[in-house]
Every structure is written in C-alpha cells, then in structure tokens.
Amino acid sequence: MIVLGLETSCDETAAAVVDGDGNVLAHAVLSQMDEHAVFGGIVPEVAARAHLAHLDRLIAKAMREAKVGFADLDAVGATAGPGLIGGVLVGVMSAKAIAAVHKIPFIAVNHLEGHALTARLSDKVGFPFLLLLVSGGHCQLLAVEGVGKYRRLGTTVDDAAGEAFDKVAKMIGLGYPGGPAIERAAKSGDAARFAFARPMKGRPGCDFSFSGLKTAVRVAVESLPPGPLSDKDVNDLAASFQAAAVESVGDRVRRALKTFSEAYEGRSLVVAGGVAANTALRAELEKRARTAGFAFVAPPLALCTDNAVMIAWAALERFKRGLTDGLDFQARPRWPLDPSAPPARGAGVKA
C-alpha cells in the first residue's frame, strides 16, 4: 500500500510518499521562508503563487526518490483545509488531477489531523491520547479517540501561540520566523527581568490566551529608553516572554491531563505543530506528563513543522478505514477537528 501526500496549506510546499508500514519512501519540501521574511510574515498571495510554481517539480522529485510511478500508488491525499485557501486549492486540485487521470482514490486530509496522527507514525502511539496542537495558526488541546474522532478540551480565545511568538519577535527586532529567533535569544536572556503575567493560569477549563501577553511585551518595550533595543534588552524580553508563554501552556496542559485521565484510559501526552520544536516547551510538557503519570511523545522536529509526510500518513490511516472522498470535495479555509465543540469566545477570537 503506497500513498502520495501533498501539503500546501501555508508557506511550505511539500510532497511525500509513504507506505502502509509507515516507511517514508521520499519527502521533498521547499520552504518559502526567505520570500516571506522581507514582509515580516506570510503573504497569502505570494504563498499560493510559490505553491503553483513548485509543486509539480516536488511531486516528480518525490516519486523519483521513492522509485515508484503513478501506477504504483494506491491513493493520493492532500491537505484540503484548514489553511490559506489559495495554497490549499493548489494542492487539492493537483491531487484530484492525479486521482482522476490514474483512477485512484482521492483523500481530503484535514491539516490538523495530519499533525494529530504524526505520533502514530513516529512512535506507534495507540488511541486514545491527549494532544497539544500548538502552531502558528492553532493552539488546542484535544482528546484523540480515533481517526476522525476528536473531542476538543480547550482552544485559544485570541491568538495562537506561534502567532504570538512571531509578533513578539517582530516587535523586538528579531524578524521572521519568530519562534526559533525567540528561543535563540532567550538562551542568553534573564527571564526574571520582566514580570509578565501568565495568561489564564489557575483559571477553570483548558483554554489559552496570548493577546494580553503580547500587549505586555509591547508596553515593556515602550518603557525602555528611546532608540534601538540593546542586545541585553532583546535577550531579556525574549527570555521573559518565552518563560511566561511556556508556563501558561504548562498550566493549561496540567488541567487537560486531569480532565483526560478522568474520561479515558490512555496515558500518552502528544505534542504536535511547529511550536512543538521549542525545547523549553518540550521540557515543561515532559515534566507535566511525568507528574501526571503520562508518557510524553514529541515527533522528530522535521515532522513537527508543516510537512507532506504527515499528510500521506493521515491519508493512509483514512484509506485503511475506507475513508475516501469524491472529486467534488471542496477545499476549506476553516475545518475544525471537533465540529461539535462550542465556538471559542474572547475579545480577539477568530470566527
């Protein structure tokens, strides 16, 4: 069983070939980081055009490296949402064309499910498990009951964690992408210099909030002497912000671990998404998991950021269960994993 997966939801263009035993036969990826860095963030139109320009070449490269032809494929999957709709459409239409020409099933993959199921590829995690999905566009805690079966325990009421990292990095002159830049600067900084509050810490439920923390950093920057920030100022701001964000996430996860353990027998905490690459966050989550008697699972760093391996694997998981989609499936800019969850409510919540 061999599946081709395509990922074009944001600023990575990728194609991967994975077999039914979880062997990654090929993975071709092109980062658009340099193209967006000059703007200080992702420009949807630029991203979509880059996907259109490079996806065919990456598909050919992946197929060549995997030593397979289209006749060898059992199915083709693509991220069909959520994401920047222009980019999502590029991947979906390419996958549909391959499916139609070669008469193989098309599988519409929820990008978030791709992240959610990665730990089953990398670490053979069984259902159910608790998932922290933390990225530039999402910050959620979910009980993963099975393929296509998710129960949301908490979500952000304003910004996602990765978005906050990016905006704080831009604010203090570290540029884009902000997550790695903040982490690097924080290693040389004094996390106690700026006493930022820990958003939502101690509150009921498992929801997140990062907008107020972002504002606190801006206020701290404005309180410093006029002129360019010194290296010490930048490092201390980065360290103080990161410590607050990590402790806040840790508190939310602590509550989710308790809620999950009361409802499910599974004892695994999985972290996925681009922000999962942050080592300070991983250390905090590992500590929380150990205290609660849970195993902590973090996929390899290359599988935490957006990639096509996770899309191919999620497509395989769905294909094995007979879950395929028609060529009339419509790409979706928004696609919640738990449609039954109530809408998040907050001053900055995104509809």
Q: What is the pLDDT of residue 351?
A: 41
- 28 to 20, 269, 274, 285: CA distances (angstroms): 19, 29, 18, 30
> pTM for this one?
0.93
Q: What is the pLDDT of residue 305?
A: 87
53 Cβ contact list (under 8 Å, min separation 6): none
Residue identified by tokens 């006029």 is 226
Over residues 119-151, the pLDDT tens digits come to: 999 999 999 999 999 988 889 999 999 999 999
- CA 258 from centre of chain: 24
Contact 6, 94 (CB under 8 A): yes
The secondary structure of 37-88 as a DSSP string is HTTTS--HHHHHHHHHHHHHHHHHHHHHHHT--GGG-SEEEEEEESS-HHHH
- 94 to 98, 175, 202, 314: CA distances (angstroms): 6, 33, 47, 18
Sequence ranges of the domains in the chain? 2-116+302-320, 127-298
Give the burial class of 225: count Cβ atoms within 10 A of its Cβ; 0-12 exposed, 13-18 middle, 19 or more buried.
Answer: exposed
- What CATH class is the domain 127-298? alpha beta
Q: What is the pLDDT of residue 44?
A: 75
Low-confidence ranges of the chain (pLDDT < 70): 32-34, 36-39, 41, 345-351
Cα(1)–Cα(88) distance, integer angstroms: 25
Q: Other C-beta atoms within 10 Å of 216: how many? A: 19
Over residues 96-125, the pLDDT tens digits come to: 999 999 999 999 999 999 999 999 999 999
| Strands 129-134 and 139-146, sheet pairing | antiparallel
2-116+302-320 and 127-298 share one fold: yes
Count CA within 13 A, CB hemisphere, residue 258: 8
Among 3.30.360.10, 3.50.4.10, 3.30.420.40, 1.20.1250.20, name the CATH number for the domain at 2-116+302-320.
3.30.420.40
Q: What is the pLDDT of residue 347?
A: 47
- Write down the number of H helices and E strands in the chain: 10, 10
Q: What pairs with residue 143 in β-bridges? A: 130, 151
- Of the candidates 244, 235, 148, 233, which has an alpha carbon nearest to the alpha carbon of residue 183? 235
Q: What is the pLDDT of residue 346?
A: 57
How big is the CA angle at 290 (ends 287 and 294), to the nearest 5 degrees? 130
- 17 to 23, 118, 119, 129, 274: CA distances (angstroms): 9, 14, 17, 26, 21
